[in-house]
Amino acid sequence: MTTVRNPENTRMRILVAAFNDMHRNGFQGLRIDNVLKKTGLKKGALYHHFKSKQALGYAVLEELIQNRIIEQSITPLENYDNPIEGIMASFNEVGTTWSDEFFCLGCPLYNLAQEMTAIDDGFKKMIKDFFTYWEEEYAKALKLGQDKGFINKDIDLQATAKFIVSSIEGAIGQAKIHQGREAFLNCGKQLERYLSTIAA
Protein backbone atom coordinates (compact mmCIF):
# COMPACT_ATOMS: atom_id res chain seq x y z
CA MET A 1 0.00 0.00 0.00
CA THR A 2 1.39 3.40 -0.99
CA THR A 3 1.54 6.09 1.70
CA VAL A 4 0.25 9.45 0.50
CA ARG A 5 2.43 12.30 1.69
CA ASN A 6 0.71 15.44 2.85
CA PRO A 7 3.36 18.08 3.66
CA GLU A 8 0.86 20.71 4.79
CA ASN A 9 -0.83 18.29 7.16
CA THR A 10 2.53 17.24 8.56
CA ARG A 11 3.57 20.86 9.02
CA MET A 12 0.37 21.69 10.87
CA ARG A 13 0.74 18.65 13.14
CA ILE A 14 4.18 19.91 14.10
CA LEU A 15 2.90 23.42 14.74
CA VAL A 16 0.02 22.24 16.93
CA ALA A 17 2.25 19.93 18.96
CA ALA A 18 4.81 22.71 19.40
CA PHE A 19 2.12 25.21 20.38
CA ASN A 20 0.75 22.90 23.07
CA ASP A 21 4.23 22.35 24.49
CA MET A 22 5.06 26.07 24.36
CA HIS A 23 1.78 27.07 25.99
CA ARG A 24 2.46 24.79 28.92
CA ASN A 25 6.24 25.13 29.24
CA GLY A 26 7.19 28.34 27.45
CA PHE A 27 9.39 28.60 24.37
CA GLN A 28 12.55 27.93 26.36
CA GLY A 29 10.89 24.83 27.81
CA LEU A 30 9.84 23.58 24.39
CA ARG A 31 11.44 20.20 23.71
CA ILE A 32 11.78 18.98 20.15
CA ASP A 33 11.73 15.40 21.43
CA ASN A 34 8.26 16.03 22.89
CA VAL A 35 7.04 17.37 19.54
CA LEU A 36 8.42 14.31 17.75
CA LYS A 37 6.80 11.99 20.28
CA LYS A 38 3.41 13.67 19.93
CA THR A 39 3.52 13.68 16.14
CA GLY A 40 5.23 10.34 15.61
CA LEU A 41 7.71 11.99 13.25
CA LYS A 42 11.46 11.71 12.85
CA LYS A 43 13.79 14.65 13.31
CA GLY A 44 14.42 14.81 9.58
CA ALA A 45 10.73 15.40 8.89
CA LEU A 46 10.56 18.21 11.43
CA TYR A 47 13.71 19.94 10.25
CA HIS A 48 12.51 19.63 6.66
CA HIS A 49 9.75 22.09 7.58
CA PHE A 50 11.55 24.16 10.25
CA LYS A 51 15.29 24.66 10.10
CA SER A 52 15.60 25.33 13.84
CA LYS A 53 13.71 25.45 17.12
CA GLN A 54 13.66 29.23 16.78
CA ALA A 55 12.08 29.03 13.32
CA LEU A 56 9.46 26.67 14.72
CA GLY A 57 8.68 29.08 17.55
CA TYR A 58 8.33 31.99 15.14
CA ALA A 59 5.94 29.96 12.98
CA VAL A 60 3.81 29.00 16.00
CA LEU A 61 3.57 32.67 16.95
CA GLU A 62 2.70 33.90 13.46
CA GLU A 63 0.53 31.09 12.13
CA LEU A 64 -1.30 29.84 15.21
CA ILE A 65 -1.23 32.42 18.00
CA GLN A 66 -1.58 35.60 15.95
CA ASN A 67 -4.07 34.11 13.52
CA ARG A 68 -6.26 32.90 16.37
CA ILE A 69 -6.38 36.39 17.87
CA ILE A 70 -7.22 37.86 14.47
CA GLU A 71 -10.06 35.35 14.04
CA GLN A 72 -11.45 35.83 17.56
CA SER A 73 -10.85 39.48 18.36
CA ILE A 74 -10.29 41.46 15.16
CA THR A 75 -12.14 40.01 12.16
CA PRO A 76 -15.52 39.77 14.00
CA LEU A 77 -15.59 43.58 14.35
CA GLU A 78 -16.41 43.78 10.64
CA ASN A 79 -19.87 42.43 11.47
CA TYR A 80 -20.76 45.31 13.82
CA ASP A 81 -21.62 48.92 13.09
CA ASN A 82 -21.01 49.70 16.75
CA PRO A 83 -17.46 48.62 17.70
CA ILE A 84 -18.36 48.55 21.40
CA GLU A 85 -20.78 45.73 20.69
CA GLY A 86 -18.21 43.93 18.56
CA ILE A 87 -15.43 44.20 21.13
CA MET A 88 -17.64 42.91 23.94
CA ALA A 89 -19.05 40.13 21.77
CA SER A 90 -15.52 38.97 20.99
CA PHE A 91 -14.52 39.22 24.64
CA ASN A 92 -17.52 37.18 25.75
CA GLU A 93 -16.87 34.63 23.01
CA VAL A 94 -13.42 34.04 24.47
CA GLY A 95 -14.98 33.75 27.92
CA THR A 96 -17.28 30.97 26.80
CA THR A 97 -15.17 29.06 24.26
CA TRP A 98 -11.74 28.91 25.89
CA SER A 99 -11.26 25.89 28.15
CA ASP A 100 -10.53 26.22 31.86
CA GLU A 101 -7.03 24.89 31.20
CA PHE A 102 -6.44 27.56 28.57
CA PHE A 103 -7.31 30.31 31.06
CA CYS A 104 -5.06 28.75 33.69
CA LEU A 105 -2.13 28.66 31.26
CA GLY A 106 -2.68 32.25 30.14
CA CYS A 107 -2.59 34.09 26.82
CA PRO A 108 0.02 32.46 24.57
CA LEU A 109 0.91 35.82 23.03
CA TYR A 110 1.45 37.59 26.32
CA ASN A 111 3.27 34.61 27.80
CA LEU A 112 5.75 34.84 24.94
CA ALA A 113 6.00 38.61 25.32
CA GLN A 114 6.98 38.25 28.96
CA GLU A 115 9.36 35.39 28.34
CA MET A 116 11.11 36.28 25.11
CA THR A 117 11.04 39.97 24.18
CA ALA A 118 14.00 40.82 26.40
CA ILE A 119 16.19 38.03 25.05
CA ASP A 120 15.23 37.43 21.41
CA ASP A 121 15.02 40.22 18.85
CA GLY A 122 12.93 38.15 16.45
CA PHE A 123 10.21 37.45 18.99
CA LYS A 124 10.43 41.05 20.20
CA LYS A 125 9.78 42.51 16.74
CA MET A 126 7.02 40.05 15.84
CA ILE A 127 5.17 40.57 19.12
CA LYS A 128 5.56 44.36 19.06
CA ASP A 129 4.40 44.54 15.44
CA PHE A 130 1.39 42.39 16.17
CA PHE A 131 0.29 44.43 19.17
CA THR A 132 0.65 47.54 17.01
CA TYR A 133 -1.48 45.92 14.31
CA TRP A 134 -4.14 44.87 16.85
CA GLU A 135 -4.31 48.39 18.28
CA GLU A 136 -4.49 49.96 14.81
CA GLU A 137 -7.35 47.66 13.82
CA TYR A 138 -9.26 48.63 16.94
CA ALA A 139 -8.54 52.31 16.28
CA LYS A 140 -9.94 51.90 12.76
CA ALA A 141 -13.06 50.24 14.14
CA LEU A 142 -13.50 53.03 16.67
CA LYS A 143 -13.12 55.63 13.90
CA LEU A 144 -15.82 53.91 11.85
CA GLY A 145 -17.94 53.91 14.99
CA GLN A 146 -17.37 57.64 15.34
CA ASP A 147 -18.40 58.22 11.72
CA LYS A 148 -21.62 56.29 12.33
CA GLY A 149 -22.40 58.15 15.53
CA PHE A 150 -21.74 55.38 18.04
CA ILE A 151 -18.47 56.66 19.53
CA ASN A 152 -17.64 59.95 21.24
CA LYS A 153 -15.73 62.15 18.81
CA ASP A 154 -13.53 63.61 21.56
CA ILE A 155 -11.60 60.43 22.36
CA ASP A 156 -8.00 59.73 21.38
CA LEU A 157 -8.49 56.77 19.06
CA GLN A 158 -4.98 55.32 19.33
CA ALA A 159 -4.76 55.68 23.10
CA THR A 160 -8.23 54.22 23.55
CA ALA A 161 -7.45 51.26 21.31
CA LYS A 162 -4.21 50.59 23.22
CA PHE A 163 -6.08 50.70 26.52
CA ILE A 164 -8.74 48.26 25.28
CA VAL A 165 -6.15 45.77 24.02
CA SER A 166 -4.25 46.11 27.30
CA SER A 167 -7.48 45.51 29.22
CA ILE A 168 -8.22 42.34 27.29
CA GLU A 169 -4.70 40.99 27.79
CA GLY A 170 -4.80 42.05 31.44
CA ALA A 171 -8.07 40.20 31.96
CA ILE A 172 -6.51 37.00 30.62
CA GLY A 173 -3.53 37.63 32.88
CA GLN A 174 -5.85 37.89 35.88
CA ALA A 175 -7.43 34.58 34.91
CA LYS A 176 -3.97 33.00 34.89
CA ILE A 177 -3.08 34.49 38.27
CA HIS A 178 -6.35 33.36 39.86
CA GLN A 179 -6.44 30.10 37.89
CA GLY A 180 -9.95 30.45 36.55
CA ARG A 181 -12.18 32.20 34.04
CA GLU A 182 -14.20 34.02 36.71
CA ALA A 183 -11.49 36.68 37.05
CA PHE A 184 -11.56 37.16 33.26
CA LEU A 185 -15.35 37.59 33.22
CA ASN A 186 -15.22 40.03 36.15
CA CYS A 187 -12.68 42.14 34.26
CA GLY A 188 -15.04 42.02 31.30
CA LYS A 189 -17.75 43.73 33.32
CA GLN A 190 -15.38 46.59 34.05
CA LEU A 191 -14.27 46.78 30.42
CA GLU A 192 -17.92 47.04 29.39
CA ARG A 193 -18.43 49.81 31.92
CA TYR A 194 -15.44 51.68 30.50
CA LEU A 195 -16.64 51.26 26.92
CA SER A 196 -19.97 52.79 27.90
CA THR A 197 -18.09 56.00 28.78
CA ILE A 198 -16.79 56.42 25.22
CA ALA A 199 -20.20 55.87 23.63
CA ALA A 200 -21.71 58.90 21.91
Note the pLDDT tens digit of each residue in 45-66. 999 999 999 999 999 999 999 9
8 Å CB contact between 152 and 200: yes
- Secondary structure of 15-33 as H, E, C letters: HHHHHHHHHHHCCCCCCHH
Predicted structure pTM score: 0.93
Long-range CB contacts (< 8 A, 24+ apart) of 42-45?
A: 45/10
Note the pLDDT tens digit of each residue in 111-161. 999 999 999 999 999 999 999 999 999 999 999 999 999 999 999 999 999
Domain 7-197 has CATH 1.10.357.10: yes
8 Å CB contact between 127 and 113: yes
